[in-house]
Amino acid sequence: MKIAFAAKPANGTDLYLMAVTREDLKKIKGPHADWVNMLIDAFPEFTGDPGDIVSTVLPGYKYSRFGLVGLGSGDKRTRLSLEKIGGKLMSSLITLPVNDPYIELNGFKADEVAVIASGATLRAYEFRAYMTKKQDQYLSDSITFKSPSPAASGKAFTPLDKSRAAVHWARDLGNEPPNILHPVSFAKRVVAKMKGTNVKVTVFDEKQLTRMGAGAIMAVGQASEQQPRLVILEYNGTGKRNSVPVALVGKGVTFDTGGYSIKTADGMVDMKTDMCGAGAIAAAILSLATRKAKVHVVGALAMVENMISDEAYRPSDIITSLSGQTIEVTNTDAEGRLILADAMWYVQTKYKPKKMIDIATLTGAALVALGEEYAAFYTNDVSLGRELEQSSVDTGDKIWHMPLDPAFNAVMDSGVADMRNTATTRWGGSCTAAAFLQRYVKDGVKWAHIDMAPVAFARGEYALGPAGTTGFGVRLLSDWVENTK
């Protein structure tokens, strides 16, 4: 979708949409006042709420269609609220079969217009790679927004659009079916996407992972025809060779059957999205690199498929992780923490980061605790927690602070190995998973864990996207990397 900014509509514009706040409706002036008042009279249900849209065909007028779209109340003007205005606008626009509409926005500065446009494009996502027929929404090839300074809006829009492209890529990765996106093809896609950027990509295959001792990743992935991959991304935009990177680690389970601790049919349905943590990190780094952010970041994406075969790992197996710590497998469905343990250990050993964040669709328990609105987050450092919460508020990727506690750690002890992979209690499953992960955080490393199981997948549309995978974490993490002290 091409976004343009202009002071006036082009000749032959198909649809002229005037964006109005509730307050605007009471005092309509300007060249279209008659048409606007006619529409308001004809459609009393139009109140100017965000996403309200009405339009009519005007035979003989210079635009074939003329309409109004609501902006809600004109008061709060944070970046996120402007993005949501754009998102709502787009959600209405895709119900109309028009091409290249012109949207008249009044009372917004040039950079605010750009933010509204970027919110609209964030919402204008669709995943239709495998639909050969159906078309129930209309994504226009291009949209033109009125701006007080088209050049300034265009300039402000460029980086926002790169961030948008990264979010859309993360959604694509999550929406891909597991027969297409498996560990081997996932790694290839990341390599291909990073071509032409300054991101250095290293892919470890099953032989290299076995040799290095990544026993946890290999155990989880060993049943699948598509063998595990560990993909390391490094982007250094600081201009300093010796800068210390921050580390991001993501769970990339391309399909989670549960293994021999098999899931129910219903429980398995959305498990193609179990790689969204890894997708979020790849996309966050893409966003930073394409915007040439002055940051140094390393990403580790642990990619496996959790399957069943005569080579699968079993409950009761004892595996040796890359750290040397042994793990009694008490449940093969608690696979995410296992692969994260090795990936976290690898980045800490190789890159010596002072700060590390992992993100994963880790537990159903996080959904039980927080519903589908918030990701659960845990941290061993108060100031890191504050930074993340600030990025969360600014980007709209919502997180909620959860407890780390010695009691949650104690129930991870095993009688036959250094630890179990599930707790001895069924309660607090997201908290005990975090306690497991903390055993793989080195001394002195500031660490946060984000359990994004609640928010990876949206059942219905929301302000900035349609139903499907959300791209959660891309904006949160890229914002945090840019702003961390």
Binding site for ligand BES (CB under 6 A): 256, 274, 331, 333-336, 361-365, 367, 422, 429, 453
Smallest separation, CB 87 to ligand BES (Å): 24
Residues 330-369 that bind Mn ion (CB under 5 A): 333, 335
Which among 68-76, 328-336, 388-396, 472-480 is the span making contact with Mn ion, rule CB under 5 A?
328-336
Binding residues for Zn ion, rule: CB under 5 A, are 253, 256, 274, 336
**By CB under 5 A, what part of segment 245-264 binds Mn ion?**
256
DSSP assignment string, 292-336? T-S-EEEEEEEEEEE--STTS--TT-EEE-TTS-EEE-S-TT--H
Indicate the residue among 336 and 471 with the shorter CB distance to Zn ion: 336
Closest CA to 16 of 103, 80, 76: 103
From residue 117, give the alpha-carbon distance in Å to each of 10, 51, 66, 93, 101. 18, 14, 20, 13, 13
User: Backbone phi, then psi, for 169, in 5-degree steps?
Assistant: -65, -45
Nearer to Zn ion, 253 or 283 (CB): 253
3-state secondary structure of 429: helix
Comparison of 168 and 337: residue with beta carbon closer to Mn ion? 337
**Residue 451 lies near Mn ion (rule: CB under 5 A):** no
Residue 331 binding result from Mn ion, ligand BES, Zn ion, none, given CB thresholds of 5 to 8 Å by partner type: ligand BES
| Cα 116 from Cα 282, distance rounded (Å) | 25
Which does residue 119 bind out of Zn ion, Mn ion, ligand BES, none, counting CB within 5 to 8 angstroms by kind? Answer: none
At residue 221, the 3 state secondary structure works out as helix
Determine the residue with CB nearest Zn ion.
Answer: 256
DSSP classification of residue 7: S
150: its two tokens: 């088209």
For ligand BES, the closer of residues 4 and 367 by Cβ is 367
Q: Which residues are catalytic?
A: 263, 337
- The residue with its CB nearest to Mn ion is 333
Angle between helices 474-483 and 382-395 (to 10 degrees): 130
Write out the DSSP string of 83-102. Answer: HHHHHHHHHHHTTS--SS-E
Output the smallest distance, CB 5 to ligand BES, in A.
40
Closer residue to ligand BES, CB minimum distance, 157 or 440: 440
Q: Does 176 bind Mn ion (CB under 5 A)?
A: no
Pairing of strands 296-306, 375-379: unpaired
Number of residues that bind Mn ion (CB under 5 A): 3
What is the smallest separation between the CB atom of 403 and ligand BES, expressed in angstroms?
Answer: 17
- Footprint of Mn ion (CB under 5 A): 256, 333, 335
